Amino acid sequence: MTTAVSAQAQPAADHADTQALLDSYQVGAGPGAAVHAGNRVGSWDLHSGTADTGAKRPIGPNDQFRIASQTKTFAAVVVLQLVDEGKVELDAPIERYLPGVVAGNGYDGNKISVRQILQHTSGIARDVTNAKANPDGTYSLRELVRAGLTKPPQFAPGAGWGYSNVDYLVIGMLIEQITGMPAGDAITARIIKPLGLTRTAYPRAGDRRLDDPYLPGYLGGRVGPFFLWTNATFAVELSKFATAGAMASTEQDMTAFDQALADGKLVSPAMLAQMRTTVPMPGLPANMGYGLGLWRLDLSCGGQAWGHFGDLLTGHSSGTFATDDGRHAALVTNGYLLVSNAGGTKREQVVDSALCGTPVG
C-alpha cells in the first residue's frame, strides 16, 4: 500500500539543537526518525514524524528494525575474537582459510588478506545482483559469494578503498569455516547472548519477521510537499544479505552493543586497536574513516565516536556510535529514499549533535 504523508516535524523542548537537526533530517529521510542517546548515567530520546503511516505514533527506542550494514560490525567482532583465540591471522591470505573461493575473474585469494576484506581495501566487487536462489527462495553464502565474484575487482588488493557487501559475505564464510557453525549462530553465541541483547537477532533463512513492537519500513520519494511511501518491511529475503546486512535490533540494544565494544568487553585491547586503525573513505567527509567493520566519526566537540551506519531495502536506515567516555547515540528512520536527499541534513550531523549534546558520564 502507498500512503502520502506530510513532511512535517515534531517539536521537542529538550536538546533543542539536536531536535532541530533531527526534524530537518526527517523531512528528507522517512515518515519518522528518532534518536536514542545518553551516557553511563542514563539515556534520552527524541522523535520526529511517525513510526507508522497508518497509526500516528513516535518511533520507540525498543522498536525492532533491520540494522542493515550495522551487521558488519557484529561479523567483524567475531573474526577479531577468532584472531584473539589464535584461529585466524589478520594478515594471512583468505586462501588459507577458504581455498579456491576467492579466485578467477581477476581475483587471487593468495593476494587478498583477511584484514583487507574486513577494511574494504580488498578490491572485491561491491554487490551481488545475479545470485541463484534456492528452490525455497533463500540464498546460501557460497552462492552469494560466487555470484559477487563474477563482477570484476574494483581495484588491486590494497590499492584503494571501496565499500563491498561481498567482502562481508566472504567474512560470513570465514566465520562458518573456522567456527563450524552457521555465521548467525556464531554471532548469537559470541555476542548477542553474552551481552543480553534480547531484542537483537540474526534471522534464519526465510524468516522475515520482526518482533513486536517493531518499526515498519518504507520506500519512497518526494512529490511536492509530500512523500509517497510504500511499505517494504517484509519485502526482502534477508538471507541474500546475510553477514553483510541481515540482522534486526533496536536503538537500545545497538547502543549497548557499541558501548560494550568501546569498553573492551568483546575483544582484546590489541584487537580493538586493530579495529580502530582506519583508512580514508573517498567521497565521504574527511572526519570519517573506516577500520575493521567499524566507522570512525570525528566529533565537532572533540574526540571520536565509533560505530556504523546501515541502509536496507526493507525501508530502514540507521546508525549507532559510542565513545570511550560512555556517550552513545543511535539514529533510525523508517524510510529508504529511492531519490537521494542530496544537500539536506546528513545523519552524521544528527549523531554528532546528540553525542556532543550529552554530558560525559
pLDDT digits (tens, 9 = 90+) for 90-110: 999 999 999 999 999 999 999
The pLDDT tens digits for 30-54 are 899 999 999 999 999 999 999 999 8
* Residue 340 in this model has a pLDDT that exceeds 60: no
* Residue 343 in this model has a pLDDT that exceeds 90: no
The pLDDT score that the predictor gives to residue 228 is 86
Q: What is the mean pLDDT of the chain?
A: 94
Which helix (H) or strand (E) is 103 found in, with range?
A: strand 103-104
* Residue 219 in this model has a pLDDT that exceeds 80: yes
Annotated catalytic residue 24: no
Report the b/e string of 246-272 with b at 16+ CB within 10 A.
bbbbbbbbbbbbbbbbbeeebbeeebb
Active-site position among 24, 48, 69, 317 = 69
Of the candidates 251, 235, 231, 340, the one whose C-alpha atom is nearest the C-alpha of residue 5 is: 231
Secondary structure (3-state) at 333: strand
**Within a 10 A sphere around the Cβ of 83, how many other Cβ atoms?**
21
Task: Find the mean pLDDT for residues 247-253.
Answer: 98
**Local confidence band at 293 (pLDDT 50, 70, 90 cut-offs):** very high
Secondary structure (3-state) at 22: helix
**All cell numbers assigned to 197:** 541483547
The pTM assigned to this predicted structure is: 0.95
For residue 190, give the DSSP letter: I
Task: Find the mean pLDDT for residues 264-282.
Answer: 98
**All cell numbers assigned to 252:** 537500545
Q: 191 with 199: CB under 8 angstroms?
A: no
Secondary structure (3-state) at 327: coil
Residue 68 main-chain phi, psi, to 5 deg = 55, -125
Question: Using alpha carbons only, how large is the chain's radius of gyration in Å?
Answer: 20
Of the candidates 281, 293, 286, 294, the one whose C-alpha atom is nearest the C-alpha of residue 322 is: 294
* Residue 7 in this model has a pLDDT that exceeds 70: no
The pLDDT tens digits for 224-245 are 667 789 999 999 999 999 999 9
Task: Tell me, rounded to whole angstroms, the distance of Cα 343 from its chain centroid.
Answer: 22
DSSP string of 62-98? T-BEE-GGGHHHHHHHHHHHHHHTTS--TTSBGGGTS
Task: Tell me, rounded to whole angstroms, the distance of Cα 210 from its chain centroid.
Answer: 17
The pLDDT score that the predictor gives to residue 28 is 85
* Residue 342 in this model has a pLDDT that exceeds 60: no
Q: Where are the alpha helices (DSSP H) in the chain?
A: 16-27, 71-84, 114-119, 141-148, 165-179, 183-187, 193-195, 242-245, 251-262, 269-275, 347-356
Q: Rounded CA gap, 34 and 280, in Å? A: 28
Task: Find the mean pLDDT for residues 178-187.
Answer: 98
